[in-house]
Amino acid sequence: MKVGIAGCAGRMGRANLREVLETPGIELAGGVERPGHEAIGRDLGELAGGDPMGLRVEEDFAALAGRSAVIIEFSSPEATIEHARICAAKGCAHVIGTTGLTPAQERELADLARRIPVLRAPNMSQGVNLLLVLVEQVARALDAGFDIEVLEMHHRHKVDAPSGTALALGRAAARGRGIAFEEQRIETRWGQTGPRPEGAIGFAVLRGGDVVGDHTVVFAGSGERIELTHRAGDRRIYARGAVRAARWLAGRPPGLYGMAEVLGFGTGGGDDQ
pLDDT for residue 267: 53
pLDDT for residue 73: 97
Output the DSSP codes for 24-77.
Answer: TT-EEEEEE--TT-TTTT-BHHHHTTS---S-B-BS-HHHHHHT-SEEEE-S-H
Domains of the chain, residue spans: 2-120+235-272, 126-232
Q: Is the pLDDT of residue 270 over 50?
A: no
Number of H helices, E strands in the chain: 10, 11
Catalytic residue check, 158 = yes
Of 168, 5, 17, give the one whose Cα is nearest residue 74. 5
CB 148 within 8 A of CB 178: no
Taking the C-alpha atoms of residue 29 and residue 251, their distance in angstroms, rounded to an integer, is 17
DSSP 194: -
Catalytic residue check, 2 = no
Question: Residue range 236-263: average pLDDT?
Answer: 94
Strands 213-220 and 147-154: antiparallel
∠ CA 7-9-14, rounded to 5°: 95
Whole-number percent of the chain with pLDDT over 70 = 97
Query: Which is catalytic among the residues 90, 154, 215, 230?
Result: 154
- Of the pLDDT bands very low, low, confident and very high (cuts 50, 70, 90), residue 2 is very high
pLDDT for residue 188: 84
Query: For the segment 161-202, what is each residue's pLDDT rounded down to a tens digit?
Result: 999 899 999 999 999 999 999 999 998 888 988 999 989 999
DSSP 168: H
Quickly name the fold that domain 126-232 has. Answer: Dihydrodipicolinate Reductase; domain 2 (3.30.360)
CATH class held by domain 2-120+235-272: alpha beta
Of 218, 190, 220, 187, give the one whose Cα is nearest residue 204. 187
Taking the C-alpha atoms of residue 133 and residue 264, their distance in angstroms, rounded to an integer, is 11
pTM of whole model > 0.95? no
Element containing residue 216 per DSSP (H, E) = strand 213-220
Mean pLDDT over each residue of the chain, to the nearest integer: 93
Question: Residue range 17-45: average pLDDT?
Answer: 96
- Of the pLDDT bands very low, low, confident and very high (cuts 50, 70, 90), residue 145 is very high
